[in-house]
Every structure is written in structure tokens, then in C-alpha cells.
Structure 1
């Protein structure tokens, strides 16, 4: 899930260079931080991960149920198809084709649903971080704040991450250097079922 969050943060990072109005001969003071790092230190990141995992599991279970029903009916047609009346067999083949189309549509909708769920959970936290960065910059006289991912070199005291964390209610002395452990990517588990049908078309007519 955290890899997915990183994708959503990228757009923010691209515009995370914040400028602040200068007055008179105010000297330029540049700070830097890492939005992704800050996000992963917040308690909200665990909540986001938990909710996405729950949502992903629900979608995955629904998809498995659809596949199981499809496989059962496909096996029944392959076994009894040769002795079925043509009208009955044709009807069951159409039913299988419709089920197959339904599964493919569900996969597409599940992916979109998961992405929308993720965006709805992450966006408010990103906005909160953005505001905290602006507040810290203003309170401490920073004229510019840039992402440290674009920083090649800089003074250690230019890192405003601890100040931003404090502003967000997190004790910087209690955070770890490493980001929160990555969770299973819900998108992959949702769109790739544990077992796909061996065959994608019903038994041939005889």
C-alpha cells in the first residue's frame, strides 16, 4: 500500500517548492523536507493502510467468488455439453460469456474503486502536511522550502522535518529513520485473483 501512497505523493512533491513573500532586504533562507517521510510518521498512515487493506480484501473475495462460480459452470458445460440439447447448450455458452465479461468489468471497476478510496484517504493528510510546512516556514523565516529529494547538498539545520512533525503533533525524537513497513499492494491482489480460469471459452459445440 505504501508504494501506492508514494505515487500519490509524487504530484505533491512536484509542486512542494513553496515560496514565501519577502519584505525589504530580507535574506533568502532555504529549508527542505520530505513529504513522504512525514506522511509515514503520522498515525494516519497506519489507518490509511488498514482501511485500504480491508477494502482490497473485500474486492478480492468478491472476485474469487465470481471466478469460482464461472469455473463451476464451465466444468459442468464441458462435462455435459455433448449430450445437451443444442438450445440449452447455446444458452449456457452465452451465460458463460456474459459471466466472463462481468468478471473483466469487475476487475476494472475494482481497480478504479481502490484508487478512488486511496485518494480520498490520502489527499486530506497531504493537505494537512502542506499547511504545516507553510506554517513552519512562515514562523521560522524560511523564504523557500524544497523537497529534499531534489537536494544535492545542504546544511543539516536546513531540514525542517522535525519542526513540521511537531506542528503535526508528532514527537520527532520518537520517530524512526525508516519508513513504515510496506504492506501488500492491494491493487495487485484485487486485480490478480489467486486462480484464473484455465479456459476462457466454453466447450465447443458438437
Structure 2
């Protein structure tokens, strides 16, 4: 009886393995290097330029505010002894508020740059998704994976001939 159960289990396991192997051979799995596609996508230079310009504008605003505070502090130090106690306290409070405003502006710089980057890149990611779907459907791919550090999909090895990044870039170029 035990031999029959072992034999049946062996037959079922072999059949399942054969089915799985045959099914896996029919599937087409490719990968896409999204960072590469994004870096080479038509029109990305405009976005890079816009981001650099926005960053420069924000940096100029910060520098201007910092310089205004430095000038106000120098002026205060020059005339502090000539001011009444009430005027001195009022100016100190204004300088402290100006310092807090500058610190707050400094804290918001990176989040604002990040928000701008996301807003400018989102259309590119959408176009890449559409182009990827078009390439996958045209070439009858079952799966397209996105290898990237930190994502749930990780590829430890992939043959370069399975990278469809160039095909997606061609599809993006057609859309322009």
C-alpha cells in the first residue's frame, strides 16, 4: 500500500513538473531599464533644463533672503547703541522672525524641488508605460519586469538580449 502511494505521488509530481516546464517554456519574460529609457527619452533634455532653471531660481531666492538678513543685522549692530530699549527689542524681534523665515524657506527647498521633478517627470513615466505596453503586445511578451533596487521585483541575472529598453525608446520616438 505504501509503495502504491509513493508511486502515485511520484507520477503526479513528474506530471506536474512536466506541465510546469512546458508552460514556462511558452512564456516570454523581458525586462526594461526604466532609468536608461528615461535618461534617453525624447524631450528629457527640456525637463532637465527646466529643473536646473527652477533650482537656480530657488537658490537665488534663498541667497537674496540670506543677504537681506545679513545686511539688516549689520545695520542693527551699527545703530544698536543709539536706539532706545524698546526700539532695540522691536528690531531684535524682527531680525529673529526674518531668521526663522529664512530657515523655513531653507527647509522647503528640497521638497519643492522634488515636487517639481515629480510633476515634470510624471508625463514621461506615463509615456514609457504606454510604449512598454505597445512593445510587449506587438512582440507577444507575457511579462516585462522592471529591475530596480528597492522594488519588489529583483533580477539577479538577465541576458542583455532580453532588455527591451531600446525598443521602448523607439516606440517613444514614434509617438513624438
Is the TM-score greater than 0.5?
A: yes
Q: Is 1:146 equivalent to 2:145 in the alignment?
A: yes
- Where 2:26 maps in the other structure, the secondary structure is coil
Structure 2 Cα separation of the partners of residues 152 and 124 of structure 1:
30
Structure 2 Cα separation of the partners of residues 91 and 156 of structure 1:
68
Unpaired segments of 5 or more residues in structure 2? 1-22, 149-153
1:73-88 residue pairs with structure 2 within 5 A? 73-88=72-87
CA distance 1:44–1:79, shift in 2 (3 Å): same
- Tell me by how many angstroms 1:36 deviates: 0.4
Provide, for residues 101-146 of structure 1, a one-character-per-residue CA deviation record: whole Å limited to 9, x for no partner: 1112222333332222111100110111011111111111111111
Q: Is 1:62 equivalent to 2:66 in the alignment?
A: no
CA distance 1:25–1:111, shift in 2 (3 Å): closer
In structure 2, which of residues 158, 161, 169 is the aligned counterpart of residue 157 of structure 1?
161
- State the number of aligned residues: 147
Match of 2:97 in 1: 98
Higher mean C-alpha deviation, range 158-167 or range 89-98: 158-167
In structure 2, which of residues 158, 167, 170 is the aligned counterpart of residue 166 of structure 1?
170
Match of 1:47 in 2: 46
- Where 1:169 maps in the other structure, the secondary structure is helix
Runs of 4 or more above 6 Å deviation: none
1:169-180 residue pairs with structure 2 within 5 A? 169=173
Aligned CA RMSD, in angstroms, stands at: 2.0
Match of 1:130 in 2: 129
- Where 1:125 maps in the other structure, the secondary structure is helix
- Tell me by how many angstroms 1:147 deviates: 2.2
Structure 2 Cα separation of the partners of residues 93 and 50 of structure 1:
41
- Where 1:43 maps in the other structure, the secondary structure is coil
- Tell me by how many angstroms 1:166 deviates: 1.0
Provide, for residues 77-122 of structure 1, a one-character-per-residue CA deviation record: whole Å limited to 9, x for no partner: 2222123211111111011011011112222333332222111100
- Where 1:31 maps in the other structure, the secondary structure is strand
Structure 2 Cα separation of the partners of residues 58 and 121 of structure 1:
16
TM-score, normalising length: structure 2: 0.76
TM-score, normalising length: structure 1: 0.65
Q: Is 1:71 equivalent to 2:75 in the alignment?
A: no
